[in-house]
């Protein structure tokens, strides 16, 4: 009887050890899998944000060109107004000088990350802070963002 109890106790301990090891392995594998999923999600968001910033950059270059042409036109107009014999093209200059273009940054990827609470996926603190600062301008906190430059 004593031998039978000893074998039963031993086999029970071995089974318990196997179950504990299995649970620990499952938890570790789950952690690895979650880390992999987080890295994939972060890469997806960063790709979208990069695309948004590239489009914003292209739009800003275009708007800069428009602003420079408007300033040049305004300069010509002001010089022409000093001239007593105003040319016929003054009306065109005035129309060009009034031209105003607006810039709306693309913020969908950033807003997705913020609304889902996944901004922490961007592990680089400097990059995360710069993204927040860039998007503060869009949220209407442009005075605060501008004063921080």
Write a three-state SS string for 87-98: CCCHHHHHHHHH
Q: Give the model's pLDDT for residue 149.
A: 44
Cβ partners under 8 Å of residue 135, min gap 6: 105, 107, 110
Greater confidence (143 vs 6) lies with 6
Q: Give the model's pLDDT for residue 147.
A: 47
- pLDDT value at 26 more than 90: yes
Can you tell me the mean pLDDT for 94-100? 60
Q: Which of 124, 145, 147, 133 is nearest to 53 (CA)?
A: 133
pLDDT tens string 72-92: 887 777 777 666 666 566 666
Rg of the chain's alpha carbons, rounded to an integer?
A: 32
- In this structure, the number of other CB atoms found within 10 A of the CB of residue 104 comes to 8
- pLDDT value at 108 more than 80: yes
């Amino acid at each position: 009887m004593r031998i039978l109890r000893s074998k039963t106790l031993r086999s029970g301990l071995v089974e318990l050890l196997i179950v504990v090891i299995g649970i620990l392995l499952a938890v570790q594998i789950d952690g690895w899998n979650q880390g992999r999923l987080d890295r994939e999600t972060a890469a997806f968001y960063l790709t979208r944000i990069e695309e948004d910033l590239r489009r914003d950059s292209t739009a800003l270059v275009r708007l800069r060109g428009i602003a420079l042409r408007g300033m040049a036109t305004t300069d010509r107009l002001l010089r022409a107004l000093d001239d007593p014999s105003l040319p016929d093209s003054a009306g065109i200059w005035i129309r060009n000088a009034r031209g105003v273009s607006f810039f709306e940054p693309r913020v969908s990827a950033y807003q997705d990350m913020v609304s889902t609470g996944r901004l922490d996926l961007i592990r680089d603190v400097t990059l995360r802070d710069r993204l927040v600062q860039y998007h503060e301008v869009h949220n209407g906190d442009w005075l605060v963002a501008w004063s921080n430059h």
